[in-house]
Amino acid sequence: MSTQAMAKPKMRFLRKREKQLNRSVAGNTFLFVIMAICGVFMVLPLVMIVNNALKPLDELYQFPPKIFVRNPTLENFSDLFTLMNGSWVPFSRYIFNTVIITGGGMLGHVICASLAAYPLAKNRFPGKKLLFDMVVLSMMFSWTVTQIPQYLIISWLHINNTYAALVLPAWSFGMGLYLMKQFMEQLPDSLMESARLDGASEWRIFWQIVMPNVKPAWLTLAIFQFQQMWGNTGSLFLRDEQLKPLQYSLQQITAGGVARAGAAAAVTFIIAAVPITFFLICQSNVLETMTTSGMKE
Amino acid sequence: MAMTGNAPGNVTVSPEALEIAKKQAKLSYQISRNKASYAMMAPYFILFFFFTVLPVVMSMILSFTDFNMLEWPNFVGWRNYIKLFLEDDIFIKALKNTLIFAVITGPVSYLLCLLFAWIINEFKGVLRAFLTLIFYAPSICGNAYLVWNLILTGDRYGYLNGLLLKLGILNEARLWMQTEKYVLPVLIVVQLWLSLGTGFLSFIAGLQTVDKSMYEAAALDGVKNRWQELWFVTLPAMKPQLMFGAVMQITQSFAVADISINLAGNPSVNYAGATVVTHLLDYGSTRFEMGYASAIATILFLLMVGTNKLVQKLLGRVGE
């Protein structure tokens, strides 16, 4: 503790651990310069979205296009809200659909994938390797060609044109299980063994010991799955307008052509802002685990 | 205990009986434990079977047919595969492009993900979350192609042309995406720019789970600088994430299509930007030749499986 307290105030933005180990000033400077240069290029799409959303119509059509806005306005957003109010299906309905599809698809997937990952990572039973290999290999088969058989199966199960057609397949995506399994594998066996000796059931071990210890993993998975589900317009499986998600209706607005360019810029902003907000919430919590959990081993 | 109660005279239990009882207890424990395991996996794998295993198997079967989405498929044996390799020149070109693309972007993207995750891990607090966002921005914003289309516009108002003209490097605007020799290199650059995605975030999370006390122990053991620390402590500790990142990288590098279609179009100029998946999309979604498209998917699948085997072997050597 004493070494941490003595740390130079200039270095406060670095994590405490690093100060104790050998970190050269030259190395730090080098890394910061790299970060700064690359950061400028990486942040470009973000900058553009924000600026476009604030541009009045004449600036949106300015040629050659400029990145930065000169006369920022919120007109685009008010235009968008007017359009939303005039929509045939009440906009709250689209939001509700999105909550079910994105929220349900994400939560269900995190739970299903984590539950299945735990035995695969930590228990021994017949069929384990086969099941796991199947999941990893399935990610390598092109999604484009499986779409049609999948459509046939969804029709055959009579869940076409329901939320289930989007949500249930999402629960069994391959990536989530693989991610969770890899993180759970790192947990020391002693953690589970001692709980077993205390008479805890597997379910309880999963919920009270495994899941809190792999919090960074499921928060990351939640980000991936949220993004995936949020971007889904559902147009392949959903016919009823009342069932379609926000993404669909927003994209319909942008399809309105030149007159709606302003509203479209606002739409692009909203489509990006929602997952970004979710991302920031999850990422800052990934961080929190680091500072609070000292219970490894 | 019940036994001693029934036969008060005979207190000792024979060792054989004890052994059998132990074995039975162990077995029933194993079964009940596995029961829980199977029950936990059931929801996922039942859905997985219906929505992934069945469709993949059906596609593989369709690759031996002439399915065109209108008529009932006829079995054609290996004809699709023979046609792919012997008659379809564009497929060979697409395959070559994909391999060049994957061999360059795969390893470089992977190392970039690792490098940036590792640098960001040195920061803390809100700054760290924002830095992560900045580097993840191309993957989350959804307008990446719009940005690059602006940069690559073929007239002098395109940002790249404008810059190069101003600097005097070019004396006339170039049609970047309509000139055959520029297409693939530009696509590679854009892909590298987009590379901090899934692998990047999983590495960031993985770095969080590395046991902190290991760094202290390593410092005592004589690990001198951060590079040694990375190789001897951090990387071996996050091997599972490295494996995961590699698989994601393989699936992304070989299945590249979106950037080619959005920037160069499909078909692109003289198929300069054609990849296996753009070819597949051409047959699957434009011409509805699903049998042929399935054969392409199967070849791509085998290619990825083989690469994965190789990469996993290489990753086994990390930290040695």
B40 touches A at CB < 8 Å: yes
Selecting from B58, B140, B143 the residue whose C-beta is nearest the C-beta of A227 gives: B140
Residue-wise pLDDT for A107-153, tens only, equals 999 999 999 999 999 888 878 889 999 999 998 888 878 888 888 89
Sketch the domain layout of chain B as residue ranges: 13-62, 79-315
Whether A44 is covered by a domain: the verdict is yes
B36 touches A at CB < 8 Å: yes
pLDDT at A289: 53
Whether A3 is covered by a domain: the verdict is no
Q: What is the DSSP string of chain A?
A: -HHHHTS-GGGTTB-HHHHHS---HHHHHHHHHHHHHHHHHHTHHHHHHHHHHH--HHHHT-SS--SS-SS--SHHHHHHHHHHHT-SS-HHHHHHHHIIIIIHHHHHHHHHHHHHHHHHHH---TTHHHHHHHHHHHTTS-HHHHHHHHHHHHHHTT-TTSTHHHHHHHHT-HHHHHHHHHHHHTS-HHHHHHHHHTT--HHHHIIIIIHHHTHHHHHHHHHHHHHHHHT---TTT---GGG--HHHHHHHHHTT-GGGHHHHHHHHHHHHHHHHHHHHHHHHHHHHHHHH-----
B31 touches A at CB < 8 Å: no
Residue-wise pLDDT for A208-243, tens only, equals 889 998 989 999 999 999 998 998 888 788 888 888
Asked which of A49, A73, A97 is the last residue of a domain, the reply is: A73
B13 touches A at CB < 8 Å: no
More confident residue, A25 or A110: A110
Residue-wise pLDDT for A159-197, tens only, equals 888 899 899 999 999 999 999 999 998 888 888 888 888
CB atoms within 10 A of CB A241: 14
pLDDT at B5: 45
pLDDT at B33: 62
Which chain B residue is nearest to residue A41, measuring alpha carbons? B193
Whether A11 is covered by a domain: the verdict is no
pLDDT at B70: 82
Q: Which residues of A touch B157 (CB under 8 A)?
A: 63-65
Give the CATH number of the domain where residue A226 resides: 1.10.3720.10
| 3-state SS assignment for residue B123 | strand
Q: Is B19 exposed, middle or buried (0-12, 13-18, 19+ CB in 10 A)?
A: exposed
Mean pLDDT in chain A?
A: 82
Provide the Cα torsion B207, B213, B216, B222; round to 10°.
Answer: -80
Indicate the length of chain A as a whole number: 297
In chain A, the percentage of residues whose pLDDT exceeds 70 is 88
When pLDDT is cut at 50, 70 and 90, the band that residue A17 belongs to is: very low
Same domain, A267 and A216: yes
pLDDT at B10: 55
Same domain, A100 and A219: yes
Q: Report the distance separating Cα B274 and Cα B280, nearest Å.
A: 10
Preferred mutation among B27, B52, B196 to probe A, highest tally of A CBs within 10 A: B52
Rounded to the nearest 5°, which phi and psi values hold at B213? Answer: -65, -20
Q: Report the distance separating Cα B184 and Cα B94, nearest Å.
A: 11
Q: Is A111 exposed, middle or buried (0-12, 13-18, 19+ CB in 10 A)?
A: middle
Residues in CB range of A100: below 8 A, 6 or more apart: A163, A167
Same domain, A27 and A125: no
Asked which of A73, A107, A134 is the last residue of a domain, the reply is: A73
Which chain A residue is nearest to residue B238, measuring alpha carbons? A186
Q: Which residues of A touch B243 (CB under 8 A)?
A: 182
Rounded to the nearest 5°, which phi and psi values hold at A14? Answer: -90, 150
Whether A13 is covered by a domain: the verdict is no
Residue B137 in contact with residue A42, Cβ under 8 Å? yes
Q: Which residues of B touch A113 (CB under 8 A)?
A: 44
Q: Report the distance separating Cα A51 and Cα A237, nearest Å.
A: 35
Q: What is the CATH number of domain B79-315?
A: 1.10.3720.10
Cis amide leading into B267 (omega within 30)? yes
Same domain, A220 and A266: yes
pTM > 0.90: yes or no: no
Domain count, chain A: 2
| Cβ pair B224:A22 closer than 8 A | yes
Same domain, A222 and A262: yes
Same domain, A36 and A128: no
Rounded to the nearest 5°, which phi and psi values hold at B65? Answer: -125, 175
Q: Between chain A and chain B, how many beta carbons pairs sit less than 8 Å apart?
A: 276
Whether A192 is covered by a domain: the verdict is yes
| Cβ pair B209:A216 closer than 8 A | yes
Interface of B with A in 181-200 (CB under 8 A): 193, 196, 198
Q: How far is B180 from chain A (nearest CA, A)?
A: 26
Q: Report the distance separating Cα A17 and Cα B4, nearest Å.
A: 60
B82 touches A at CB < 8 Å: no
Residue-wise pLDDT for A54-90, tens only, equals 888 888 777 677 778 888 888 888 888 888 887 777 8
pLDDT at B110: 92
Q: Which residues of chain B have pLDDT under 70?
A: 1-11, 30-33, 319-320
pLDDT at A53: 87
Which chain A residue is nearest to residue B151, measuring alpha carbons? A65
Same domain, A208 and A179: yes
Which chain A residue is nearest to residue B193, measuring alpha carbons? A42
Same domain, A164 and A224: yes
Asked which of A73, A95, A111 is the last residue of a domain, the reply is: A73
User: Across chain A, which distance is largest between two alpha carbons, in Å?
Assistant: 72
Residue B120 in contact with residue B130, Cβ under 8 Å? no
> Which domain does A175 fall in, by range?
85-292
Q: Which residues of B touch A137 (CB under 8 A)?
A: 301, 305
Kindly tell me the sign of the dihedral angle through the C-alpha atoms of B175, B181, B182, B186: positive
| Cβ pair B205:A286 closer than 8 A | yes
Same domain, A98 and A203: yes
| Cβ pair A202:B37 closer than 8 A | yes
Residue-wise pLDDT for A258-274, tens only, equals 778 888 888 888 888 99
pLDDT at B31: 66
Preferred mutation among A140, A155, A159 to probe B, highest tally of B CBs within 10 A: A140
